[in-house]
Amino acid sequence: MEPDVLANGNTTPAAAPQSSIRQNDHLTESLKLEDQLMRVPFEHLKKSMRASSRMVEKEMNAVVTGVAEAVERDMSKEEAVQHLTSLVSRLQGLKRKLDESNKSEQLKVQKCRVRLDHLSMLQTENQHEWNSTRVKRILVDYMLRLSYYDTAMKLAESCNIQDLVDIDVFMDAKKVVESLQNGDCAPALAWCAENKYKLKKSKSKFEFQLRKQEFIELVRVDQSMDAIAYARKHLAQWGKTYLKDLQQAMATLAFKSNTDCATYKILFDAKQWDDLVQLFKQEFCKLYGMTLQPLLNIYLQAGLTALKTPFCYEENCTKEDPLSQADFRNLASSLPFSKHIHSKLVCYISKELMDEHNPPLVLPNGYVYSTKALEEMAKRNNGKVTCPRTGLVCNLTDLQKAFIS
């Protein structure tokens, strides 16, 4: 029998059942791939708690300052009552904001709990259900990253996986993306202010690029004096870090927007806004611990790499091999070859390796088992063998030998 018979779906032996140790290893490896699932809601919760903490600190400082001011000033009784009433109103407003923040944080905690319960399913026998849910999560993630928000929400709702995907986080990002696409930096700068500590820690260039773009837009409409004032206020502080970029931007005051000099003409190109959108998406993913590429791309690349071997590009490559198709070959063109060129065949019955010393035998129904296992079965059943999968009974002499190349 030709070697390519082994590539047929009916003749490939099933993988041996995993031992408890291997199963634990599988669970560990699966959990490593789910870092984003838990990290995103956790980072979102941390961000909300930091915002609440800053709000409390700001309001309490204002109230304490107000009380100290009331003590120092010589107020009449009416003025003192009015002043203290305003401070009480401020504290009541703080309480309302904290109540709203608490409700929001409780929802985020609930989302973390749901995701932990989802991961616990890995330890049960509901692997098929868990894998099905994972595929849906990956598809929603892909749609959100490509800005197909409505489709992503409909899929999440229809599959009841709203707590397992990050629609709320991406909807926050949507506002920034749309504003940048419309040539407005204000929401993006507000986002930078909200996440100033983390962006500074990661040495992000995003805020500088936004400030530079606003400067360029002032130069574009010939508001040179306003551009200079803006540069002094918002760009001068970046001089030590991005001196070369800053000098290039400042030179546009002399070259103007209609320049033919490529070095400065590119700064006025509309593509700069697209670059800002892409830079924001990168910083957004870093902030929440997301992968820079969609999960669908990562899993697809991993799968194609596992399948890709030099044999896939030979003329006699079997049609059952996905990489025999031109579209899959194009997707895998930049990916490395699989580390293992040849597969190992393990007998479904004996769990032993099938090789030249224990070659595979093919039953009339197309299933493959090891010679040793089938001969032992035939000895116990007067030369008859039974397929453990389909129940087919046949003579040992009816089997054909398969050769491993």
Residue 17: the pLDDT is: 45
Q: What is the C-alpha separation between 369 and 160, in angstroms, rounded?
A: 42
Q: 212-238, pLDDT tens digit by residue?
A: 999 999 999 999 999 999 999 999 999
Q: For the residues of 188-235, what is the DSSP string, one character each?
A: HHHHHHHTHHHHHHTT--HHHHHHHHHHHHHHHTT-HHHHHHHIIIII
CA 292 to chain centre: 6
Average pLDDT in the 151-169 region?
93
Query: How far apart, in Å, are the Cα atoms of 46 and each of 171, 176, 190?
Result: 18, 20, 18
How big is the chain by its Cα radius of gyration, in Å? 32
Task: Determine the pLDDT at residue 220.
Answer: 93
pLDDT at position 26 is 57
pLDDT score of 373 more than 70 = yes
Above 80 in pLDDT, residue 4?
Answer: no
- Partner residues linked to 354 by β-bridges: 345
The C-alpha atoms of residue 2 and residue 402 are separated, in whole angstroms, by 7
Q: CB–CB of 45/108 below 8 Å? A: yes
| pTM of structure | 0.69
- Give pLDDT tens digits for 346-363: 898 988 888 888 899 999
The CB-side HSE value for 340 (13 A sphere, CA atoms) comes to 5
Say what the pLDDT of residue 368 is. Answer: 92
- How confident is residue 48, by pLDDT bands cut at 50, 70 and 90? confident
Percent over 90 (pLDDT), the chain? 40
pLDDT band, very low/low/confident/very high, at 3 (cuts 50, 70, 90) = very low
Mean per-residue pLDDT over the chain, rounded: 86
Residue 167 clears pLDDT 90, i.e. is over it: yes
d(CA 171, CA 330): 33
CA distance 114 to 282: 27
* Percentage of the residues of the chain whose pLDDT score is greater than 70: 91
Q: What is the pLDDT of residues 60-104, one digit of tens each?
A: 888 888 888 878 887 788 888 888 888 888 889 889 988 988 888
194 in Cβ contact with 51 (< 8 Å): yes
Q: How far apart are CA 123 and CA 121, in angstroms?
A: 5
Nearest to 310 by CA among 342, 344, 334, 337: 337
Query: Is pLDDT above 90 for 258?
Result: no
- Whether residue 23 has pLDDT greater than 70: no
CB 123 within 8 A of CB 23: no
Instruction: Give the per-residue pLDDT at 8.
Output: 37
Residues in the chain: 405
pLDDT band at 318 (very low <50, low <70, confident <90, very high): confident
Q: Cα dihedral sign for 288, 294, 296, 302?
A: negative
pLDDT of 9 above 60? no
Categorize the per-residue pLDDT at 341 as very low, low, confident or very high, splitting at 50, 70 and 90: low
